[in-house]
Chains A and B, each alone.
Chain A
Amino acid sequence: MKETLPAPPTPEALRAAFRLVQDPEFGLGVEDLGLIYDVRVAGGQVDVVMTLTSTHCPAGDVILQGVKAAAEALPGVTDVRIELVWSPAWTPERLSRAARDALGWE
């Protein structure tokens, strides 16, 4: 009998998973921080375009590996590619409303 693979997750489901991948300093998920620029799903293949708050973010490795692990953990994902980009550069304007409220930012 042929085994059927689970359906791949939607970009929205992936973004929801990325909300739980936290930046250590801010304690906020990378999605709410505005670090995820694009999520594409083709079959089981997931492509994520993202950035970091600075080019020399000391937690960069951990955050990237965390995004990769969070995507791989979802049913239907067979491969994850992460493209790290610096353009457009991240600015605090990319924070979600919830993130601004959580940080008490002006």
Chain B
Amino acid sequence: MAVGARPSGIGELAAQALPGMPLVAGATLPLAFIALGLAAFAAGSLWIALEPALVLQPHLHPRVAALAHLWLPGFLLSASIGSLYQLMPVALGAPLHARAAALWLHFALHLLGLPPLVLAFARGHFEWVALGGGLLAAGAVILLVAVLGTFRAASRRDAAAWSFPLAAGWLALTVLVGLLLALNRRWPFLSLSSVDLLRAHAHLGVAGFFLTLLQGTAFQLVPMFTVGEVRRPRLVWAGLLGTQAGLAVLAPGLAWHQAAPMLAGAGLLAAGLAGSGIALVATLRTRRKPALDIGLKAFMTGAAAFVPAAAVGGWLALAPPDHPAMLRTISAYGLLLIPGALSLTVLGMLCKVIPFLVWMRAYGPRVGRYPVPAATALTSRRLERAWFATHLAGLVLITAGCALDSALAARLGGLVLAVATGLFLANALGVFAHLRRPRLPAGTGQPLATRSP
């Protein structure tokens, strides 16, 4: 049976329409992926706080590569997979096409693959990098099969729906290229430059998986949480297609170090980003609720951070390779993208997803029987606000420190980012605590039927 498929005998509920999608594996699997991502987030932020000078090192430094992999497949990918497994059936209107055992196998492969991947990068042991990458690649295949099966079973075929199989396909390609890179470092067999292939690998992951997914899910999540409507649907399509075409040209251009496809690909990618951005702003303007909560503010700020990141990326594509600021600018580009655009969008999304999943598990079975708190009441507004402000401050400091080659600003930025992570995790742990000890609103211990309406 597909995970999330409705068990028979649901009672007297009408059968003519699906009343929403049930929780995937009782929400435990998405929460497990998210918890793994948050653990990697904590480790990555602590590492930056303890060794902030690392961000001033060239991006090819082994420990920089280790930190990037702790942050990208460790934190951002884990959290995104957890959210994807829950959100995709909702967005596509079809149960997740995978057995629970297969999804848990994916989690196990991901969990077991990350430590060798990160630790071996730090020590330059590429056979162990290949082993960790191989485990992640096997997990990515499970995800790809689940996504393709669910997409085939669903009828929705707009840009938001297409973003799922496209992102899963790019992810599979990303891990395959990463695996080739690691094997080639240990047993050289490719005629391509490892540095060029590494850049293609990084763009496949960032633009192929994360950006593609965001270009689709943003048009599901933002209207859902603000009760707005998707506007400029042709531009939504154009944005997604621009990114796909751009990456299909950019990645080979980077791998084979060809200037013309690099520039053309970067241009198409930037155009795709602009299209999605314009459509997202138009969609946001249809919202009924004027004030945005912190989760949505962070999500939109992260989406906006793609603009300076793309500008820096454009400069990198045009500047001569021996430009004295090249290495620093590459690092600043990475910071704008990883703790900037990607982390803010993913963390913003988690501000909504974690309370919702925890609420569904802790309070869902009590709805209609006992008064329950709203999902939004599980979080601390003060901690959320403090996290967001601190994360932005840390991001600005560390990126400026890197771009201006200021060790002091980079150190300060690393510490501030670590404080921000602590604030986010404190809030998330407070939400997770409801799973162990649900808290009913004060004075509402009685069943609803015994209370006066």
Contacts and interface: CB of A to CB of B under 8 A. Distances in A.
B290 A54 contact: no
B29 to A, nearest CB: 15
Given A25-B376, A60-B20, A64-B19, A69 B13 contact: no
Given A17-B453, A73-B447, A54 B224 contact: yes
B14 interface: yes
Interface in A54-106: 54-70, 73-75, 79-86, 92, 103-106
A80 B367 contact: no
A24 interface: yes
Interface size class of A (residues with CB under 8 A): 35 or more
Interface stretch (B86-94, B109-117, B209-217): B86-94
B372 A92 contact: no
Nearest to B447: A73
A27 B368 contact: no
A22 B367 contact: yes
B127 to A, nearest CB: 43
B375 A69 contact: no
B101 interface: no
Nearest to A28: B374
A41 to B, nearest CB: 15
B123 interface: no
Given A19-B453, A22-B367, A73-B448, A27 B11 contact: no
Interface size class of B (residues with CB under 8 A): 35 or more
A22 B12 contact: no
A51 B89 CA distance: 19
Nearest to B452: A16
Contacts of A92: 227, 288
Contact of B19 (A19, A22, A70, A84): A84
Contacts of A22: 367, 371-372, 374
Nearest to B94: A56
Interface stretch (B137-145, B272-280, B320-328, B356-364): B356-364
B360 A59 contact: yes
A17 B360 CA distance: 20
Contact of A58 (B12, B16, B90): B90
The 9 closest A-B pairs by CB, nearest first: A60-B20, A27-B374, A66-B368, A73-B449, A16-B453, A66-B367, A69-B368, A24-B375, A70-B368
